[in-house]
Chain A
């Protein structure tokens, strides 16, 4: 829990599953505490959330002064004898979940239907019924209504009905009057029904609310139709709290901008006035309280609440999406930042906006920090020492720049004195092999064998078109290991001054690095993904690089997820080889819409190893996290 979601900004929802356990956690940002409850995944305990809240409150109140005064020393030296309290709280929580009786179905008398229909049914001529009625339901309720209406009249007559049903008594005058009255009533009802049916239609026209289809800026409340007109109930419909001004649009919204569905229209002009905004509701109560709230916010003993942060976070989310970060990732990021900041006490003279921006910036830098070492040269040297080539595989969808960047990387490796074998495993696309051959020729022209002690630095291993890519890769790797005809030739001359690295004494004809170029494939194409997974599983390369272009937006998430899934599904090993690193290409085509970098690293938690910034051999860079985040946060 501590090493995966919390530092990597995945702390949006507060539960985490690991093997057979589910962990629910809660952060206290004021005192920097984490409360974790673990239970078996198969159990569904309903009282866990309540338990965590109770424990949090009690612990905090009990040891509050230790945290506040003594800080870290308090944490170290204090004894936190909380076990008894915890057992008590646990018992309470368990009991409360058991005690709650199963909900009993309401009887007819209790339901709203019986209570309301009487009132509605009894109508006098000339009175307009207010409800919106449907004829069938109307009739049904009418029948019951007549019974019910008849019942009180009967009840007033006493137990006449059973007597009438039982014996044929002689009806008294009163009884006859009563009977007639009932008949009259019934007939009157039916007549009323007929006369009423056109009326409800007319009523329907008036009561019909104008549909608001404007997706932008409708208040979420207006779009929520679930409360109005519950089935069958003909109660007086609540007067709709419908403010046409609010629903039809913010006066100062940006025209043409497409908001997300869940966007709640807030005041646009609230950027610098967020502090005052929070004190506005309190200002309504009393001017003095509002002023203190504002001052409190300035001086810095105000703790952040969700309502304070929501408008700022919405804006930040839109900003991130505008910078080409995938939408779901922007949402998750903002959630995680909100969780981290909730309840935190702001420092002096800091506004909510600046605190949230700061937290978001730190979160983004954290995401871009590599989880594992990003040093290919070091690993190549290691492989050199073990007399085997370092194998790198490039995969990705069509047209992202795999072959171009492969050439750039081989140029870089040659500059550093390593010999490269390029394996042309793209046996499908026309011209793929010729492309690589041209690159090889050019690179050899730039770095002729004479300047490197007689070795050809780059060579191409190809078997034409239409063959099996995995087989070609395997042959290429074994060729790279022992070279032509498997002869081990000791290196004759001592290395010259251009050789930066200490060289092992005997050097075989093999190559230091093997770069495997594969065909581009869409992530949905199952047979091709299987083929790629087979290539990687069989050949076990040292590094699997996913090549993605920086222009991609939400697609990045889908591509990476599906590629990883395919690699995991089709490998037989216990720990399948997944994507180890990302090459971000076409970085020069985006100005500062660098969100794709964030999307890709967030999804895979693997580092961006190279960044391609052009089409010449020198256009290879490494990622600078701070610069990317600065470009991302820039307004």
Chain B
């Protein structure tokens, strides 16, 4: 006990000197570095991803290939996601990460869960030729995407790309928009009337305004419709018809 006291006294003497100041400065430096690091982390995890969603055989993987390499490739049904950085335009040096998700029913929701938080924009690819047959499935998937909590919170820009316009029987974007609005109108009522889930978590969020017919302008995010063709009108050797899509990507990035 006697030995401790002189030590303490010596310590106190030391601290009161210039050493105290340097200790204080060191602490402040650490704190500032920490704050800067947190800030940078936050910025880096800001959403820079553009998701390609849609049903099976809508043309997402081919669109992905065309945007990145410009060439035509034979594709198979995706069973996992693919991502790559895409340089949006020659003038600006902004990059976005294009992520191509599988459209298979068992896989789509799982991959959406994984990537939805990082989404800055969503491209929903629709097969314009088979639309008439598949309108209910398209609407259901679109509904699931729109009603998702994270998507509603972040409100990423949404583009509905009506693909396969090179085929003569393809429906126009306007028609697709009208049909989707009608389907989503009925869907939001049937979905909210469905029996509640087992753990009775809150029911699905309401889409659009009550009382009025559903309209894409009622959504919190910007929605646009664009016609495109991943295969291109000249077949496999020619270029794809992706102008509208590319312009939109420039706007969004």
Interface residues of A (CB under 8 A from B): 2-3, 6-8, 32, 34, 71-73, 75-77, 362, 365-367, 369-373, 375, 377-378, 381, 412, 415-416, 500-501, 587, 610-611, 613, 620-624, 627-628
Residues of the B chain whose Cβ atoms lie less than 8 Å from the Cβ of A378 = 136, 186-187, 190
- Contact flags B33-63 to A (C-beta < 8 A → 1, else 0): 0000000000000000000000010000000
> Which of A32, A72, A367, A621 is in CB contact (< 8 Å) with B196?
A621
> Which of B73, B104, B197 is in CB contact (< 8 Å) with A622?
B197
Closest to A75 in B: B82
Would you give the shortest CB distance from A84 to chain B, in whole angstroms?
20
- Interface: B137 (CB within 8 A): yes
Residues of the A chain whose Cβ atoms lie less than 8 Å from the Cβ of B194 = 375, 377, 622
Number of B residues near A (Cβ < 8 Å) is 36
- Interface: B107 (CB within 8 A): yes
Taking a contact as CB atoms under 8 Å apart, the answer to whether B196 and A7 are in contact is no
Taking a contact as CB atoms under 8 Å apart, the answer to whether B198 and A6 are in contact is no
Docked complex Cα distance between A386 and B141 (Å): 25
Using known A-B contacts A73-B68, A375-B140, A375-B190, determine if residue A6 contacts B79 with beta carbons closer than 8 Å: yes
Taking a contact as CB atoms under 8 Å apart, the answer to whether B197 and A624 are in contact is yes
Taking a contact as CB atoms under 8 Å apart, the answer to whether A613 and B140 are in contact is no
Taking a contact as CB atoms under 8 Å apart, the answer to whether A76 and B68 are in contact is yes
Closest to A74 in B: B84
Would you give the shortest CB distance from B109 to chain A, in whole angstroms?
6
Can you list 28 A-B contacts with CB-CB less than 8 angstroms, sorted by A residue number? A3-B56, A7-B104, A7-B107, A71-B83, A72-B82, A72-B83, A76-B65, A76-B68, A362-B110, A366-B106, A366-B107, A367-B106, A369-B109, A371-B106, A372-B105, A375-B191, A377-B194, A378-B186, A500-B189, A500-B193, A501-B189, A613-B198, A621-B200, A622-B197, A624-B198, A624-B199, A624-B201, A628-B198
Closest to A9 in B: B106
> Which of A2, A3, A8, A622 is in CB contact (< 8 Å) with B195?
A622
Chain A facing B: main interface SS:
mixed
Taking a contact as CB atoms under 8 Å apart, the answer to whether B77 and A366 are in contact is no
Residues of the A chain whose Cβ atoms lie less than 8 Å from the Cβ of B196 = 621-622
Docked complex Cα distance between A103 and B249 (Å): 67
Docked complex Cα distance between A415 and B140 (Å): 23
Residues of the B chain whose Cβ atoms lie less than 8 Å from the Cβ of A381 = 186, 190
- Interface: B69 (CB within 8 A): yes
Contacts beyond the supplied A366-B110, A416-B193, A500-B193: 7 A-B pairs with Cβ under 8 Å: A2-B76, A7-B106, A71-B84, A72-B83, A369-B110, A381-B186, A627-B198
- Interface: B178 (CB within 8 A): no
Taking a contact as CB atoms under 8 Å apart, the answer to whether B198 and A611 are in contact is yes
Residues of the A chain whose Cβ atoms lie less than 8 Å from the Cβ of B198 = 587, 611, 613, 621-624, 627-628
Residues of the B chain whose Cβ atoms lie less than 8 Å from the Cβ of A370 = 105
- Interface: B132 (CB within 8 A): no
Docked complex Cα distance between A76 and B67 (Å): 11
Taking CB atoms and an 8 Å cut-off, the chain B residues in 78-92 that contact chain A are: 79-80, 82-84
> Which of B102, B106, B199 is in CB contact (< 8 Å) with A8?
B106
Taking a contact as CB atoms under 8 Å apart, the answer to whether B84 and A73 are in contact is yes
Taking CB atoms and an 8 Å cut-off, the chain B residues in 231-252 that contact chain A are: none
Docked complex Cα distance between A371 and B107 (Å): 10
Residues of the A chain whose Cβ atoms lie less than 8 Å from the Cβ of B199 = 624, 627
Docked complex Cα distance between A381 and B136 (Å): 12
Taking CB atoms and an 8 Å cut-off, the chain B residues in 102-148 that contact chain A are: 102, 104-107, 109-110, 136-137, 140
Would you give the shortest CB distance from B208 to chain A, in whole angstroms?
15
- Which of B56, B198, B199 has its CB near the most chain A CB atoms (within 10 A)? B198
Docked complex Cα distance between A378 and B69 (Å): 42
Docked complex Cα distance between A243 and B107 (Å): 49
Would you give the shortest CB distance from B146 to chain A, in whole angstroms?
16
Docked complex Cα distance between A23 and B18 (Å): 78
